[in-house]
Structure 1
Amino acid sequence: MRVQSFLIGGFLGLLQVASCSPTPKSLPQPPTRVERTAPTSTFSNNVIFSPPSNAGWTDPRVLYSRVIELSDGSLIATWENYSPEPPLVYYPIYKSLDGGVTWSEVGKVEDQVNGWGMRYQPFLYELPQAIGNYPAGTILVVGNSIPTDLSQTKIDVYASTDGGENWDFVSSIASGGEARPTNGLTPVWEPFFIVYNNQLICYYADQRDSSYGQKLVHQTTSNLLTWSSTVDDVHDTSNYIARPGMPVLTLLPNGNYIYLYEVCGTDGCRLHYRLTSNPLNLINATAYSLVSTAGTRPVSSPFVVWSSVGGANGSIIVSSGSQSNIFVNKNLGASGYWVEYSVPQPRAYSRTLMTFKEDDNLLAIMGAGFLPPSSVNQVSLSVVDLTALGI
């Protein structure tokens, strides 16, 4: 959850059905893989971007970083960028052709429709299949467009068909009110994408329903242009002040999905999760608290991936905002099997995790520092060998 003008959110507003999209360009088919060797050695806390110390950047300078590997083998990354305004804030797009060792800025996701800027909670996603007229390999960024005075929130989608250099507005998913995590306000927060059953699903946190301080919902699209009405995923009917937020999920080898989120308001933003074979029906899935075998209950800003390393069931790997350690479950999410492992990447608010496609023994962990006050935030990346960790 986002505190004060920046802090951890997950919340509600007015549903806006999207339209108004340019015809997408076609990607080269098939995509050409980047000529690089997947990392054979690990590295720790490699700084990708550090804002100038005297150039008017607003605290926290950078935050909420995301990284993915594209189908061509390159990596792209983005984050919340608190650069001086004007011009409007934007999501920088950085690319690496050598597995995360070196990076260069190749593009920017700029607000093309609201005149507010792209301010909070970017999420990167490469389409694994065509959705509507957008081919497999299209890169999407979904994030929260918010004006400088934080008076409104709007979850907008942008697409790139040239590897992240150029971006076009696609659609709006949801609109809400003031961007502050206060019960009774109506923002929307923290989008996350997956494709399921030939649909793109957007999960997010929603404060627009007056019955709840905050709840988790999703909407779907089959064409990226128009979106369904909202469906509740997590809400607490007995506690208005409960604030489930920051939803993320990943597919497991048994066909289940693990859906991970924080619960603020009533549980100190500790992490909870659900397991289900149907990611469109999370409201009926059993909820579990994430507790490690050492008794740790990780807090805030979760992220989750799965790796085939670790045995017949592979390993579910979780990051939180309260520990540098990662939390690993080799039993398909069964309660009581979460083990902590130390990693070199520093603790940060909303770190992201990524396993490499050609070698998912390698785990990338990216962070961009802390919520304000945090005047020294920078974006950095570590790559760790899961086997070497003992997983």
Structure 2
Amino acid sequence: MRFFSLVLLPAVFETALAAFSGVTIFTPGADWTDPGVLYARSVELPGGVLLATWEAYSPQPPLVNFPIFNSTDGGKSWKHMSNIKDKVNGWGLRYQPFLYVLTEKIGNFKAGTIIAAGNSIPEDLSKTQIDVYASTDHGFTWDFVSTVAKGGAAQPNNGVPAVWEPFLLTYQGKIVLYYSDQRDKQYGQKLLHTVSSDLLTWGDLTDDVHYPVYTARPGMTTITQLPNKQYLMTYEYGGGPTVANPSTYQFPVHYRISSSPLTFLSAPDNAIITNNGIQPIGSPYVTWTPVGGVNGTIIVSCGTRSEIFVNRALGDKSAWKTIKTPEGTSYSRHLRVLDTDKNQLMIMGGGVLPPSKTNKVTVSVIDITQGLAAES
């Protein structure tokens, strides 16, 4: 949580991708509002084309929006291709974009459709609204689809009924949208989800994580599926117990594992603490790769360290290890195992929370096998 008919693209890669580090996708202008950029996200299209977006704090007018950049060389170079613009509220698309490619037909939306979810918020930050957009032409144009949740002011304060941080997943022929919710008066913040069979209408709300202490603030859901058909969810546990500085309010990274992505509330609650005693703090992101052994490798990033945290034992809480990366620390740093080469991990960041005048959107790709050989 912040404080303050579709045609498939042709294949572009014929050889293995090479690792690289520190590529700059975008640098904001000097006249942009602090922090300039933040909260980068990506998606990979059929054929290996990559799209990226982020929070863009550009001067207004015009209304802020989510820029779309694309890469056809595995992330080494990027070009601007479009912008996802607010078409319904007159507020702009301001915070927490998320990109997702449908893996199957949902309602009238064919497999391969790109879905974008994000927080539409006016310039005075008086409202929050999670809206969904879609592109059927590989990201060149975008249409409004539906509103999922409406909330109050964009303030991360207990008692202010805001909604935040959408995440999308397909399950049993339907689309699930997860988000953070401050509207329930029983909790400062909780995690929940809603399900849709058509992307147009959304079902009842189901809690995924809440705690009996009102000031606890679980936030920032991300989920990956494991090879044993289990689902692993990471989140930050605002107010959770920590190894270092236990008397201060922090956001340790926690996770839950469930046989269904709809039943995390009853799943055991675990903290990530590595074999060398590191506890990742804040804004996690999780993914999985088949590389690393019979169970593959769970990979987690956090918002306060440049390392990634790996687990080759299906989430066994005693099996977390650390891998150094060349990509710098970013708030809500993003991970993607590339479909074109499952041994390549893309790490994308948009910089740190304000105040920051040096944020830019950057990306690195690392060789997972080499990283695992040096894990600690």
Shorter-chain TM-score bucket reads over 0.9
Is the 2:351–2:361 contact (alpha carbons within 8 Å) kept by the matching residues of 1? yes
RMSD: 1.0
Q: What is the CA-CA distance between 1:39 and the residue it aligns to?
A: 4.9
User: Which residue in the other structure is 2:108 paired with?
Assistant: 133
Other-structure match for 1:52? 29
Q: Secondary structure at the match of 1:200?
A: strand
Please list the CA deviations of residues 131-186 of structure 1 after superposition, one character each: whole Å capped at 9, or x if unmatched: 00000000011000000010000000000000101000000000000001111100
2:59 to 72, 76, 84: 84
Q: Indicate whether 1:152 and 2:127 are aligned.
A: yes
Given the alignment of the two structures, is residue 206 of structure 1 paired with residue 181 of structure 2, yes or no? yes
2-structure distance, mates of 1:211, 1:72:
47
Higher mean C-alpha displacement, 310-319 vs 257-266: 257-266
Q: Which residue of 2 aligns with 1:14?
A: none
What residue number does 2:216 align with? 242
Distance 2:15 2:166 in 1: 29
Maintained 8 Å contact 1:39/1:98: no
Q: Is the 8 A contact 1:63 1:368 kept in 2?
A: yes
- The aligned residue for residue 244 of structure 2 is none
Match of 2:200 in 1: 225
Distance 1:293 1:35 in 2: 40
Q: Deviations over 1:346-370 (max 9, x none)?
A: 0110110001113110000000100
Shift of 1:46: 0.3
Which residue is 2:3 aligned to? 3
In structure 1, what is the equivalent of residue 86 of structure 2?
Answer: 111
In structure 2, which of residues 323, 335, 346 is the aligned counterpart of residue 353 of structure 1?
335
**Displacement of 1:32:** 3.1
- Please give the secondary structure, in 1, of the residue aligned with 2:303: coil
Write the distance in 1 (CA, Å) between the matches of 2:60 and 2:32. 9
Contact 2:9–2:45 (CA under 8 A) maintained in structure 1? no
Give the whole-Å Cα distance in 2 for the aligned partners of 1:122 and 1:299.
Answer: 21
Shift of 1:206: 0.2
2:347 to 348, 351, 365: 365
What secondary structure, in the 3-state scheme, does the structure 1 residue paired with 2:77 have? coil
Q: Does 1:307 align with 2:289?
A: yes
Which residue does the alignment assign to 1:8? none
Instruction: For 2:312 and 2:365, locate their aligned partners in 1 and report how far apart those are by CA, in whole Å.
Output: 20
CA distance in 1 between counterparts of 2:157 and 2:239 reads: 10
Q: How does 1:180-191 map to 2 (within 5 A)?
A: 180-191=155-166
> Hey, what's the Cα distance between the residues in 2 that align with 1:343 and 1:369?
16
Question: Which region of structure 1 is more displaced relative to structure 2, 310-319 or 69-78?
Answer: 69-78
| Per-residue CA distance 1:56-77 (angstroms, 9 max, x = gap) | 2000000000012112320000
Letter in 2 for 1:2: R
The counterpart of 2:234, out of the listed 256, 260, 263, is: 260
Q: Please list every run of 5 or more consecutive structure 1 residues that lacks an aligned counterpart in the other structure.
A: 5-25
Deviations 1:205-258 (A, max 9, x none): 000000000000000000000000211110112x00000000000000000000
1:23 is aligned to: none
How is 1:22-101 mapped onto 2 (pairs within 5 angstroms)?
Answer: 26-28=5-7, 31-37=8-14, 39-53=16-30, 56-101=31-76
Deviates more, 1:377-386 or 1:350-359: 350-359
1:81-126 CA-to-partner distances (Å, cap 9, x unmatched) read: 0000010000000000111111111110000000000000000000
Q: Using the alignment, how far apart are the partners of 1:257 and 1:144 within structure 2?
A: 25
> Amino acid of the residue matched to residue 74 of structure 1?
V
Contact 1:110 1:117 in 2 (8 A): yes
* One-letter amino acid matched to 2:277: G
Counterpart residue identity of residue 308, structure 2? I
Does structure 2 conserve the Cα–Cα contact (< 8 Å) formed by 1:38 and 1:98? Answer: no
Structure 2 distance, partners of 1:46, 1:39, is: 19
- Does the CA-based 8 Å contact 2:222-2:284 persist in structure 1? yes
- What does residue 326 of structure 1 align with? 308
List runs of 5+ in structure 2 lacking aligned partners. 242-249
State percent identity of aligned pairs.
50
* Contact 1:328/1:338 (8 A) holds in 2: yes
Report the TM-score when normalising by structure 2.
0.96
Q: How many residues align?
A: 365
